[in-house]
A and B are shown apart, each in its own frame.
Chain A
Amino acid sequence: EIVLTQSPATLSLSPGERATLSCRASQSVDSYLAWYQQKPGQAPRLLIYDVSNRATGIPARFSGSGSGTDFTLTIGSLEPEDFAVYYCQQRSNFGQGTRLEIK
Chain B
Amino acid sequence: EVQLVESGGGLVQPGGSLRLSCAASGFTFSKYWMTWVRQAPGKGLEWVANIKEDGSVKYYVGSVKGRFTISRDNAKNSLYLQMNSLRAEDTAVYYCASILHYDIMNYWGQGALVTVSS
Instruction: Using CB atoms and an 8 Å cutoff, list the residues of chain A in contact with chain B.
Output: 30, 32, 34, 36, 38, 42-46, 49-50, 55, 87, 89-97
List the B side residues contacting A44 at CB < 8 Å: 37, 45, 95, 105, 108
In the complex, what's the smallest C-beta–C-beta distance from A59 to chain B, in angstroms?
17
List the A side residues contacting B101 at CB < 8 Å: 32
In the complex, what's the smallest C-beta–C-beta distance from A79 to chain B, in angstroms?
22
In the complex, what's the smallest C-beta–C-beta distance from A93 to chain B, in angstroms?
8
List the A side residues contacting B105 at CB < 8 Å: 34, 36, 44, 46, 89
In the complex, the number of residue pairs spanning A and B with C-beta atoms less than 8 Å apart equals 56
Interface residue from A34, A43, A90, A93 paired with B108 (Cβ < 8 Å): A43
B104 touches A43 (CB 8 A): no
Instruction: Using CB atoms and an 8 Å cutoff, list the residues of chain B in contact with chain A.
Output: 37, 44-47, 50, 59, 61, 95, 100-111
B108 touches A49 (CB 8 A): no
List the B side residues contacting A90 at CB < 8 Å: 103
B104 touches A94 (CB 8 A): no
Interface residue from A32, A38, A45, A96 paired with B103 (Cβ < 8 Å): A32
- In angstroms, Cα B105 to Cα A43, docked, is 12
Query: Which residue from chain A places its CB closest to the CB of B46 in the assembled complex?
Result: A94
Give 9 closest A-B pairs by Cβ, nearest first.
A32-B102, A43-B108, A92-B47, A94-B45, A34-B104, A49-B104, A91-B103, A97-B44, A96-B44
List the A side residues contacting B59 at CB < 8 Å: 92
- In angstroms, Cα B35 to Cα A94, docked, is 14
- In angstroms, Cα B95 to Cα A21, docked, is 25
B104 touches A50 (CB 8 A): yes
A87 touches B45 (CB 8 A): yes
List the A side residues contacting B44 at CB < 8 Å: 87, 94-97
- In angstroms, Cα B59 to Cα A96, docked, is 22
- In angstroms, Cα B101 to Cα A55, docked, is 13
- In angstroms, Cα B69 to Cα A55, docked, is 30
List the B side residues contacting A92 at CB < 8 Å: 47, 50, 59, 61, 103
B45 touches A46 (CB 8 A): no
15 A-B interface contacts by CB (under 8 A)? A32-B101, A32-B103, A34-B104, A43-B111, A46-B105, A49-B104, A87-B44, A89-B104, A90-B103, A91-B102, A92-B61, A94-B44, A95-B44, A96-B44, A97-B44
